[in-house]
Structure 1
């Protein structure tokens, strides 16, 4: 009797997928992935040149508005009270990614207190204004945390610069908490293998045993 054995046949299908990851840029701690920090600035200084324009939690022991640190991302926040005399104020951050989400903390002190609580700002991506946000205080003295003020999920996957900018003729109180951005780690290649499963067929006349294999797994 003559036996013929066919070696297992391996078929590979190549699958290419993108791996997407989210990372946080904290107002004070910076980018958790790269370590890059947020740059805060203003076009001019207050009449008291020694006073900070942007203040974070550690600078604000005597601020008229006191937030609950436990409700802010990483217990940190950075805020600015904008007046037209400042010209403009900006928080600048850089990242590489295809999507971004900007979160603010919103104040609701009554106007009668004299504390600026309305929030008005623009978002400028790579030099172009791409969005804006405004909130009028409801007078409840309550803060709103994790407020999504701007999002864009259709960016090209490359380096971008985002500015949170306050300008114009109206006072504004902006409290920046954090940003989440999405980036592509890389093109991940996977293989799916197809094998031939063994079975036997005997042909009496030719005395032939034919073996093949077939199975499927990933």
Structure 2
């Protein structure tokens, strides 16, 4: 009888220890450099521009302050063609939460600065985000445009699509 007690006690202690050691870890997926742990790099549809300050988008009139951008990189796109395929970025992660962050411009002369996104997670609608410019010419950095929590701890695919008549500057995502 005594050996069964110790086996049961050892099993219970092992279960308790496993729960105590289960710690959530936050990871970041940069728009350009991706996730340094998994090696995943975001997947972009056509029409996105990367690193505009490094000359890859010389006609881009929207120029945020590089020093305030995560890892000094971002990807941007506009959707100005009615009925065209929506520009999108796809992120893959395993975790229980994801947070997507963008740079949000306000007024830029003669340029669209409305931000309008729709999201799907694992092929199911997961939300929208809208920002209408104000009269300032201030950029807002690390703006949370999507926050999804209490997800099953399994692999997920998040797709962010840019709706017609908007500009998006994707910076990074965090997941847990």
TM-score category, normalised to shorter length = 0.7 to 0.9
| Separation of aligned partners in 2, 1:19 and 1:63 | 42
Deviates more, 1:76-85 or 1:116-125: 76-85
Q: Check if 1:71 corresponds to 2:68.
A: yes
| Separation of aligned partners in 1, 2:34 and 2:98 | 15
Which structure features the higher share of helix residues?
A: 2
Number of positions where the alignment pairs a residue of Structure 1 with one of Structure 2: 158
- Where 1:70 maps in the other structure, the secondary structure is helix
C-alpha RMSD over aligned residues: 1.5
Mapping 1:1-218, distance limit 5 Å: 14=13, 15=16, 16-17=18-19, 18-42=22-46, 53-57=47-51, 58=54, 59-85=56-82, 86-110=84-108, 113-167=109-163, 170-182=164-176
CA deviation string 1:83-137 (max 9, x = no partner) = 1343211001101001111101101015xx2201000001110111111000000
Listed as ranges, the gaps of 5+ residues in structure 1 are 1-10, 43-52, 183-218
- Larger-gyration structure (1/2): 1
Which structure features the higher share of strand residues?
A: 1
| Separation of aligned partners in 1, 2:155 and 2:168 | 25
TM-score by length of 2: 0.84
TM-score by length of 1: 0.69
